[in-house]
């Protein structure tokens, strides 16, 4: 009989990596067996979250789950649904978007769309990302869902899928309305999701541009997020202000391959908001760094396939496997590759086969899904027969 599938033994490696726990204003973190005083960031904000975008690790949190009005930061979800529709082929950058009378009637921040005016999706997104256009947001909502109300249902559904349990949307632009709220924690989650779409920072990171450039009424766009001009590496994401919400911001910056998201809600003014967010970003980049365990494309190991047209496949990292590391710290971690003893064909490319577990002091720090890099079809009878016969006479 054919030999039983070999069990892939756990792959144990040791690296100098440490992943920080959540540092909050209420709870100190432990570092090298010494208690470190809690860091104080965003002192004037009602709530704040500092997050590593790659791993999803929360570096700092202050009242992170408090439900508050998010103002125009709401538009992060609007932009997310737009780019997801483009990726799904439901929308093109060059598609024309017609402005309804309702969309044109929006007050507050706007790009002064007129009823019946048409702009491309590309220009509408510029108007949302840079000028925080309430009118452009509604026009895009109507383009995608038919009505703003139907689009808001899409927003709330996507929020649930992302685990945004502190959030309920009532419109697509953040203008003051009852039952419209979110939290710094949830805003960090949807910001991280939006940043998975690499094209978005072309819009959120631009400081100035034009709409209707060759028309009789050109409109100069200046980004409401001044950090994209004044903070090195900043390229987004969204500001917000209403008298109820005060001054809000979800900012992102990248340095040395490390991307950070900093969210503040309820700041007293723009100067304090920008200063405290800059300090949050400085803290992240000065205190932490990314440690890559495997680069994208690295071969991690091999796994035997039962009754497949091939007998084994390589396990390949489909994305960079990285862990957030505290600068100056050196603690051992272990890596364990766990895959079932028997994996039967057929296997589909992208199918989850197991996981890579990174642990420290017997505590799991992060788990990475291990996925099949190729399709494996089930072997035919004749191939299995020849394989079994070959095994018998070895």
Cβ neighbours, 10 Å, residue 139: 30
The answer to whether 6 is a known catalytic residue is: no
Angstrom distances, CA of residue 80 to CA of 75, 192, 200: 8, 10, 9
The span from the CA of 51 to the CA of 284, in Å, is 9
Tell me the two tokens of residue 348: 């589909």
> What's the chain's length in residues?
394
Tokens of 83: 């780019």
Contact 321, 13 (CB under 8 A): no
Give the distance from CA 299 to its chain's centroid. 26
Examine the residue annotation and report whether 75 is marked as an active-site residue of this protein: yes
What radius of gyration do the chain's Cα atoms show?
25
Q: Which residues contact 297 (CB under 8 A, 6 or more apart)?
A: 316, 317
Annotated active-site residue in 47, 109, 132, 183: 132
> Active-site residue among 72, 109, 137, 182?
72
For 151, the token pair is 């689009």
Q: Does 371 participate in catalysis according to the annotation?
A: no
In angstroms, the first-to-last Cα distance of the chain is 12
Active site residue: 47, 62, 75, 143, which one?
Answer: 75
Q: 324 CB contacts (<8 Å, ≥6 apart)?
A: 19, 20, 52, 54, 55, 57, 59, 288, 289, 290, 291
Query: Which positions are annotated as active-site residues?
Result: 72, 75, 132
């Amino acid at each position: 009989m054919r030999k039983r599938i070999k069990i892939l033994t756990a792959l144990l490696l040791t690296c100098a990596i440490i992943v920080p726990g959540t540092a909050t204003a209420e709870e100190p973190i432990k570092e090298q067996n010494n208690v470190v005083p809690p860091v104080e960031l965003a002192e004037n904000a009602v709530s704040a979250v500092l997050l590593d975008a790659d791993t999803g690790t929360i570096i700092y949190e202050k009242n992170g789950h408090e439900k508050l009005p998010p103002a125009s930061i709401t538009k992060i979800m609007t932009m997310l649904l737009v780019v997801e529709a483009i990726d799904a082929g439901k929308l093109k950058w060059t598609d024309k978007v017609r402005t309804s009378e309702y969309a044109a009637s929006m007050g507050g921040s706007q790009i002064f769309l007129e009823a019946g005016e048409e702009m491309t999706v590309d220009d509408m997104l510029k108007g949302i990302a840079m000028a925080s256009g309430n009118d452009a947001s509604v026009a895009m909502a109507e383009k995608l869902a038919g009505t703003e109300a139907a689009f808001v249902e899409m927003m709330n559904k996507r929020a649930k899928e992302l685990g945004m349990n502190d959030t309920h949307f009532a419109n697509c632009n953040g203008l003051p309305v009852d039952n419209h709220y979110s939290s710094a924690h949830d805003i960090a989650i949807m910001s991280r999701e939006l940043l998975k779409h690499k094209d978005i920072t072309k819009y959120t990171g631009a400081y100035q541009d034009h709409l209707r450039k060759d028309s009789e009424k050109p409109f100069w766009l200046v980004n409401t997020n001044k950090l994209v001009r004044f903070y090195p590496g900043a390229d987004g994401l969204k500001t917000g202000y209403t008298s109820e919400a005060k001054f809000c911001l979800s900012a992102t910056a990248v340095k040395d391959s490390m991307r950070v998201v900093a969210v503040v809600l309820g700041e007293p003014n723009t100067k304090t908001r920008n200063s405290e967010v800059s300090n949050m970003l400085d803290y992240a980049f000065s205190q932490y760094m990314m440690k890559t365990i495997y680069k994208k494309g690295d071969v991690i190991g091999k796994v035997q396939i039962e009754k497949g047209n091939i007998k084994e496949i390589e396990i390949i990292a489909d994305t960079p496997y990285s862990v957030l590391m505290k600068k100056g710290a050196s603690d051992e971690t272990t890596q364990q590759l766990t895959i079932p003893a028997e994996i039967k064909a057929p296997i589909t490319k992208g199918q989850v086969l197991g996981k890579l577990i990174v642990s420290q002091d017997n505590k799991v720090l992060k788990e990475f899904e291990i996925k099949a890099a190729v399709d494996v079809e089930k072997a035919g009878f004749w191939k299995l027969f020849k394989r079994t016969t070959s095994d018998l006479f070895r």
